[in-house]
Amino acid sequence: MVREASASPPRAVHALAAPYLLFLGDATEPGFAKTALGLRDWAADKCLAEHALPAATVSTGLPRMTPANAAAAGARAMVIGVANQGGVIPAAWMPELLAAVEAGLDLVAGLHTRLGDIAALREAVARAGTRLVDVREPPPALPIATGAKRTGRRLLTVGTDCALGKKYTALAIARGLRARGHDATFRASGQTGIMIAGEGIAIDAVVADFAAGAAELLSPANAPTHLDVIEGQGSLFHPSYAAVSLALLHGSQPDLFVVCHQPTRAQILGTPGYGVPSIEAVIEQTIAVGRLTNPAIRCAGVSLNTAGMAAEEAAAEIAHTAERLGLQTADPIRGGDAFERLLDACAA
């Protein structure tokens, strides 16, 4: 039996100061600058300018500014918008990072190398009175999940695999519902999502016993008509990442979920020999395990990542999937009438 919550849980999420100066380092491949490009696409109102080393060839298209000029123009933080191999902070970046701190900016990163582990940066922020924000560092004092029922409504994006559009789907649904006048909030559970939203918890960096509790904090009690649209992580069918997916599902207690799928992908990412499960299997498994904390959980629809498919091929795949499953199906990036119908299902 699900217990009623006695009080709203305290907020325990990273909070970032905007607007941002996006740091592109020495990036020459757009794939390594996906954080900066994602911020440009989904949080344009938080992005003031970009800064890069002379070797960089990738650009967000924003004005180029030095940290000092950006601070004078109102920037409050410099976000490291690149994720290089190994998630390291090269020595060549250090003069620019120190310049940002000296200009009065917070430094924000989601790399495996923690800003707080670098003595020169710790000393610089101590002098400047600014902050080092490692968004992959879990907030302190996370609670163990209670499973207690809380007010408000929640929608979680789940996937047939990892890295196929759960974040973009959640962002698009939240934005689309807000445009219709609904009270909807995107809740970030990964480092790029946190930078876009300005707050959140990187669930995959939380100790396992506290991961479901972190998900409860991520989507706290709210007004009865409010909808939290929660960014999913991993997949219940991924042999490496199913644990974080399950914790997020139990802690989120979603009323609704949207299954994200890439029709052109046959193998689970990074694990040869494991095939991508069917959408039907994901729906069945998500309901089966999600009922533990929300017996009323149901599937609202399907989000297809049709990148690389011709428009006619994508439209046919979307229509076929919707007919086969009897669920609203769309590619949120392509939009159109199919996506509007998916929004209808999410708002119902």
As a whole number of angstroms, the distance between CA 342 and CA 258 comes to 9
Instruction: Clarify whether residues 224 and 297 are in a common domain.
Output: yes
Domain hosting 173: range is 153-347
Q: Identify which has the larger pLDDT, 34 or 262.
A: 262
Report if residue 286 sits inside a domain: yes
Overall average pLDDT of the 111-134 stretch: 95
Do 172 and 47 share a domain, yes or no? Answer: no
Q: Which of 150, 149, 251, 239 is nearest to 210 (CA)?
A: 251
CB of 112 closer than 8 Å to CB of 87: yes
- State the Cα–Cα distance between residues 58 and 67, nearest whole angstrom: 18
| Band (13; pLDDT cuts 50, 70, 90) | low
Nearest to 16 by CA among 185, 187, 133, 102: 133
Q: What is the mean pLDDT of residues 316-331?
A: 98
- Determine phi and psi for 329, rounding to 5 degrees: -135, 140
State the pLDDT confidence band at 11, using cuts at 50, 70 and 90.
very low
Same domain (yes/no): 202, 333:
yes
Q: How far is CA 268 from CA 164, 194, 227, 245, 287, in A?
A: 11, 25, 31, 15, 21
**Domain identity same for 193 and 72:** no
And the tokens for 347? 């708002």
Per-residue confidence at 31, pLDDT binned at 50, 70, 90? confident
173 & 313 share domain: yes
How many structural domains does the chain have? 2
In what helix (H) or strand (E) does residue 256 lie, and over which residues does it extend? Answer: strand 256-261
**Sheet-wide strand order for 77-80:** 47-51, 20-23, 77-80, 106-109, 132-134
- pLDDT, one tens digit per residue, over 203-255 is 999 999 999 999 999 999 999 999 999 999 999 999 999 999 999 999 999 99
Same domain, 66 and 159: no
Domain boundary, last residue among 101, 134, 167 = 134
Q: What is the mean pLDDT of residues 24-40?
A: 90
Cβ(96)–Cβ(51) under 8 Å? yes
Residues 237 and 287 in one domain: yes
Residue 322 resides in a domain? yes
Q: Give the C-alpha separation, 249 to 189, whole Å.
A: 12
Q: How much of the chain, in percent, has pLDDT values that exceed 90? A: 84
For residue 137, the model assigns a pLDDT of: 86
The CATH code of the domain that includes 127 is 3.40.50.720
Whether the per-residue pLDDT at 132 is higher than 70: the answer is yes
Question: How would you write 21-53 as a 3-class SS string?
Answer: EEECCCCCCHHHHHHHHHHHHHCHHHEEEEECC
Could you say which of 134, 168, 194 is where a domain stops? 134
191 — pLDDT class (breaks 50, 70, 90): confident
β partners of residue 303: 260, 330
| Residue 325 CB coordination number (10 Å) | 17
